[in-house]
Amino acid sequence: MALRDYAKYMTRVALLQVDVSDAQSPEQRTEKVLELIRQQAGLCEVVCLPELWIVGAFSSSMMKTHAVERASSFITDLGDAARDAQVWLHAGSFVERDGNQLFNTSVVFRPDGSVAANYRKIHLFGFDSGEAALLAGGTDLVTVAETPLGTIGLTTCYDLRFPELFRALVSKNVETFMVAAGWPSSRRHHWEILLQARAIENQAWVIACNATGLSGDVPLAGHSMVINPQGQIVAQAGADEIVLFADIDLAEVTQVRTTFPVLADRVLD
């Protein structure tokens, strides 16, 4: 089946809402997540992970010590897990070391284990601390054409607060936004409202996988969500570690954009 033929069918996604608390070491969590990916074989076509699930988005002290290069066994292991499960894998994000710089990097794998795309987070959170002080920001908007979810746009957590990024991705014909996150419980209401807003204003699917548990001293919200192009929540997790499933009908994007063609009235681009 050609990838574009997926538009005629439901595509099932699995969001792995991972607990990043210190009860597990990063090495133990990595082994657990690799096994969770493999367990999705035959259950879905696409698997998604949260932001910085190895160390936690607010565990700044661990970012340098657990940074890895893109050409590393960690990346190979993720690709192998995607191949074993025969799924497309949005592997959340990890701290990437590239020379003297560190990035918050996402990787998407094809079902054969090969890398389909990389995205370095553009907007770094923390103002003058945390990842904003430790990491370098990416510069490229990344889309992946022809996945089971159509043309996808990759974003990470704090990116959600910058609608111009999502608008730029729509200009590249993105049909599904993928959001890997380590969003805190204290701002959970922002998480839910902003995700729905991005779906409504861009008439696109939003698949948002958040981490849960305690990262540093910050409780994370969980509540991973899948939102359709009308802004309706079709699946939502609670605060516990869980695998959340949802069925994506890509045809809804075309239907909404055709019957209510608001994007055609854009003046600023």
What is the DSSP code string of 54-74? TT-TT-GGGTTTT-B-SSSHH
* pLDDT one-digit tens code per residue, 159-215: 999 999 999 999 999 999 999 999 999 999 999 999 999 999 999 999 999 999 999
Catalytic residues: 51, 121, 157
The pLDDT value recorded for residue 1 is 45
CATH no. for 12-259: 3.60.110.10
The CA distance from 5 to 166, in Å, is: 25
The CA distance from 212 to 29, in Å, is: 13
The pLDDT value recorded for residue 146 is 76
* Strand arrangement, sheet containing 101-109: 115-120, 101-109, 88-98, 46-48, 10-17, 242-249
Q: Is the pTM of this model over 0.85?
A: yes
The pLDDT value recorded for residue 143 is 77
Helix (H) or strand (E) holding 251: helix 251-259
Q: Where are the domains of the chain?
A: 12-259
The CA distance from 204 to 181, in Å, is: 18
Pick from 3-7, 205-209, 254-258: least confident: 3-7
What does each C-alpha distance from 72 to 96, 97, 101 come to in angstroms? 10, 10, 16
* pLDDT one-digit tens code per residue, 72-85: 999 999 999 999 99
User: What residues are paired with 153 via a beta bridge?
Assistant: 143, 177
pLDDT over threshold 60, residue 2: no
The pLDDT value recorded for residue 6 is 52
The pLDDT value recorded for residue 142 is 76
pLDDT over threshold 60, residue 3: no
The pLDDT value recorded for residue 269 is 64
* pLDDT one-digit tens code per residue, 37-54: 999 999 999 999 999 999
- Coil, strand or helix: which one is 56? coil
Q: What is the rounded average pLDDT of the residues 104-128?
A: 95
Average per-residue pLDDT for the chain: 94
**166 and 202 in contact (C-beta within 8 Å)?**
yes
Contacting residues for 8 by C-beta, under 8 A, at least 6 apart: 251
